[in-house]
Amino acid sequence: MKNNEYDGENGEMREMGQQSNVASAANIQEAAAVIRERIGFEPEIGLVLGSGLGMLADLIEQPIVIPYSDIPHFPVSTVEGHAGELVAGQIKGKPVVMMKGRFHLYEGYSVYEVTLPIRAMKAIGVQKLVVTNAAGGINLSYKPGDLMLIRDHINFTFRNPLIGPNDNELGVRFPDMSEAYSARLRGIAQSTAKELGLPLQEGVYVGLLGPSYETPAEIRMMRTIGADAVGMSTVAEVIAARHAGIEVLGISCISNMAAGILDQPLSHEEVMDTTEKVKETFLRLVLTILPKLD
Ligand code: HPA
């Protein structure tokens, strides 16, 4: 974990400053160069596969697999259920690149490390990004196993990957976030779900640092401020993608009800069990959406 802001000796996050901004154009280009060389084509769609949703990568025809450890400046993901490799190829006729395993702030990575792969994807030609995650249901009408299209997010990580000098080549200093999750792509997702007869919720995702789950009081607050689902990823990646002009589609798998809703404790096992159960449905939805993403 070089270049990040976690100071292991003192157990504290260092002040985010210019020198810790690892989203330097040089680092992004170095990572992109290796990926470009290895895959040898320009992927149009990037996918970030969340906890337990990595099996989508197994459906790529003639996959090119690049372990994160082979890519300069890529951190290596440490969470169970996150493999840590980039998989590229064709899926339903679309050139894609997938992150099988993502980086989380709770692992100790900086917001710049978490978003470096997104910027590298942009550098190799990605124009659309499909982000997926497992999330806790805050909306009381949701149930575990539901899929939720992300309409918008609330950034409760209080980290932003754009802090520091702005790379004008990449995007503007103050990017608009009024349509972070493309209304056009949401329309495609909703009509695809209808066509398949799959129920698809649509709601607001609130992203937190974690890794402890929320308290019931926090969940009540987040419901009050308009959140429908809660998780520990996605928001930083989406901010970086929007900054770079990438169109975003987000899908959450509601893996559990958030804290305090049911009379039972939360566990990572429950999250993994539910994602395992809905993976067929999730796959069917994403595989039908992908060819329509023009
Ligand atoms: N809270 C936060 N993150 C999560 C949850 C949750 O309930 N479920 C899956 N990821």
Please work out whether the CB of residue 134 comes within 6 Å of at least one atom of ligand 1. Answer: yes
Domain-located, residue 93: yes
Where in the sequence is the domain holding 242, given as residue range(s)? 9-292
- Are 257 and 136 within 8 A, CB to CB? yes
Q: CA neighbours within 13 Å on the CB side: how many for 259?
A: 16
Q: What is the pLDDT of residues 77-93, one digit of tens each?
A: 665 555 689 999 999 88
Domain-located, residue 257: yes
Provide the pLDDT for residue 269.
87
Residue 68: helix, strand or coil by DSSP? helix
Q: What DSSP string runs through 7-21?
A: ETTTTEEPPP-GGG-
Share of the chain above pLDDT 70, in %: 89
Question: How far away, in angstroms, is 258 Cα from ligand 1 center?
Answer: 7
Question: How far away, in angstroms, is 143 Cα from ligand 1 center?
Answer: 13
- Are 96 and 290 within 8 A, CB to CB? yes
pTM: 0.91
Provide the pLDDT for residue 267.
86
Domain-located, residue 3: no
Q: CA neighbours within 13 Å on the CB side: how many for 183?
A: 3
Domain-located, residue 4: no
Question: Which phi and psi angles does 114 have, rounded to 5°?
Answer: -60, -35
Domain count, the chain: 1
Provide the pLDDT for residue 80.
57
Domain-located, residue 190: yes
Please work out whether the CB of residue 214 comes within 6 Å of at least one atom of ligand 1. Answer: yes
Query: Which of 3, 106, 177, 202 is the catalytic position?
Result: 106
252: annotated active-site residue: no
Domain-located, residue 134: yes
For the chain, the maximum distance between any two Cα atoms, rounded to a whole number of angstroms, is: 54
As beta bridge partners, residue 6 has 13
Residue nearest to atom 5 of ligand 1 (CA): 136
Q: What is the pLDDT of residues 155-191, one digit of tens each?
A: 999 999 999 999 888 899 999 999 999 999 999 999 9
Q: What is the pLDDT of residues 235-257, one digit of tens each?
A: 999 999 999 999 999 999 999 99
Provide the pLDDT for residue 248.
98
Q: What is the pLDDT of residues 191-230, one digit of tens each?
A: 999 999 999 999 999 999 999 999 999 999 999 999 999 9
Domain-located, residue 233: yes
Domain-located, residue 111: yes
Q: What is the pLDDT of residues 109-154, one digit of tens each?
A: 999 999 999 999 999 999 999 999 999 999 999 999 999 999 999 9
Provide the pLDDT for residue 77.
61
pLDDT band (50, 70, 90) for residue 20:
very low
Residue 165, preceding bond cis, omega within 30 degrees? no
The domain that contains 212 carries what CATH number? 3.40.50.1580
